[in-house]
Amino acid sequence: MSNPSPRYISNLTRDTYALILAGGRGSRLHELTDWRAKPALYFGGKFRIIDFPLSNCVNSGIKRIGVVTQYKSHSLIRHLVRGWGHFKKELGESVEILPASQRSSDNWYEGTADAVFQNIDIIRDEIPKYVMILSGDHIYSMDYANILAHHVESGAKMTVSCMPVPIEEAAGAFGVMSVDEDYRILGFEEKPEHPTPLPNDPTRCLASMGNYIFDTDFLFEHLKRDSENEGSERDFGKDIIPSIIKDHPVYAYPFSNEDGEVSYWRDVGTLDSFWLANMELVSPEPPLNLYDKKWPIWTYQEQLPPAKFVWEEYNRCGAAIDSVVSGGCIISGATVRKSLCFSNVHVHSYSEIEESVLLPDVEIKRNCKIKKAIIDRGCVVPEGTVIGHDHDEDRARGFRVTDKGVVLVTREMLGLKVGI
C-alpha cells in the first residue's frame, strides 16, 4: 500500500490490541538472568529490553497493550508499574500485566500460543479487529502501523515480521521461513539446525522476528483448535504457523528502512550479543539512534543528579572517552574508555575501565583494571581487582568467561547478596 492516510492508519491502530510475550527466561545469558526475566534486563545505559516493544507500540499509535509475564517476573512487573502505569483506560489506553494464572487450565503457560490462549477472555473484552503478538526480548525501533497496513492490504489472515539473518546465527535460534515472490510463506521451521538459505544468498536465511499480526477471529479459532490437539507443544513457531500456511494466506513482512535496507534489530540472547549490542552504542554514529526525538524510547527512571567527573591531577583524572555515562554516575579520578555506565555507577581513583558494561549501582574501588566485562547490578568490585586481562585468573575467581572473551561478574560471584 502506498501513502496511506493518517486517518486510515489511526483507525487500524485503534482496532488493534498488542500482546507482548515477556515471560522468557533467557537461559543463554546464564547468571545475568538468574534473578530477572530477559525482558527485564538492562540495556543502553538507562533502559530495560521491554521498553523497546512498548515504546514501539506507543509511538505507532497502539495504546491497548497486554504484557504476558511468567519467569521471575518481580523486577519486570515493578518496572512496568512504575514506568508504564500512567495510561488511562477511559481514554482507550492501557498497559495491563498478565501473569501466568492458570485461567483456562491447571497449567502455567506451556508455550507462546498457550500464553495467548489463556488470555483469550481478556483480549475478547477489548473487541479488537486485529491482534498483534510481539516478542518482549529484542532491541529495535519499528513502526507497527506499517506492518498493520500491509497485513490488511495483502488480505492475510496472519502476517509474520521477518528479516535476513546469517545462517550460522539463525541455526537453532530463530524460526526460519521460505516464501514465494509475493512473500507468501510456503514453509516454516522453528529453530532448525540447518536453516533453508535465501534463493539469492546462500549465506543468509529469512528469520522470524517473533512478531505476528492476526485477524482476531482467525487467531481465536486456531488457538482453540491447537488447545485440543494433544500432540501440540502450544507454540506459534512449532505448531500454529506450520498448521495454517498451506490452507490460509500467511505472509512475511520484511523489516527494512525507507531505503529498503535491512533495519536495526538485535536479539541480545547471549552474553556476547548483549555485550556487543551495548558496545555499538558508544560509537559516534551508532546503528541504533537513542537520541531520535521523533521516536523516543520511554522508560522508568529515578530522579538522579547529573553525571560527575572529578579530579584533575597527575595520574588521577576523572574522564570518560567514547563512552555512555548515565545520571547519578561519579567518575572520580578514574578513566573510562569505550564503555557504558548505567545509573549510579561510581568508579574510584586510579581505576581503568575499558570496553565494559557496568549495570546500575556498580561501584568500582580504587586501582582496578577491567576490560571487556559485564558487571551486574549492585556489584562492589574490591580495590586492586583485575578483570578481563587474564582469563585463566578470571575463571579461577569464579567469573564466567565466554568463548569470545567477555567476562561476566555478578554479586554472587563476588560473595555479595544477590538481587534484581
271, 29 Cβ separation under 8 angstroms: yes
190 among annotated binding-site residues:
yes
User: Comparing C-alpha atoms, which of 358, 367, 371, 335 is closest to residue 410?
Assistant: 358
Phi, psi of 254 (to 5 degrees): -70, 130
User: What distance in Å separates the CA atoms of residue 227 and residue 395, rounded to the nearest whole number?
Assistant: 46
- Alpha-carbon torsion 418, 81, 18, 44, what sign? negative
Residue 261 main-chain phi, psi, to 5 deg: -85, 155
Rounded Cα gap, residues 235 and 190, in angstroms: 9
CA distance 234 to 100: 15
- Contact predicate 183/245, CB 8 Å: no
139: left (phi over 0), alpha (psi -120 to 50) or beta: beta
CB 219 within 8 A of CB 116: yes
At position 288, the amino acid (one-letter code) is L
Cell numbers that stand for 227 in this block: 488447545
Residue 84: Cβ-neighbour burial (10 angstroms; 0-12, 13-18, 19+): buried
Q: Which residue has the cell 522508568?
A: 300
Residue 109 assigned to a binding site: yes
94 annotated as a binding-site residue: no
Query: Bridge partners of 132?
Result: 18, 213
Taking a C-beta distance cutoff of 8 angstroms, is the pair 50, 20 a contact? yes
Task: For residue 404, say whether it is annotated as part of any ligand binding site.
Answer: no
Question: Beta partners for 252?
Answer: 160
Do 159 and 250 touch, CB atoms closer than 8 A? Answer: yes
DSSP annotation string for 331-359? EES-EEES-EE-TT-EE-TT-EEES-EE-
Contact 359, 377 (CB under 8 A): yes
Q: Work out whether strand 64-69 and strand 94-99 pair parallel, antiparallel, or are unpaired.
A: parallel
Q: Is 208 annotated as a binding residue?
A: yes
Single-letter residue type at 333: G
Query: Which residues have C-beta within 8 Å of that of residue 184, sequence separation ≥ 6?
Result: 249, 250, 251, 252
Binding residue positions: 109, 175, 190-191, 208
Binding residue positions for alpha-D-glucose 1-phosphate: 109, 175, 190-191, 208
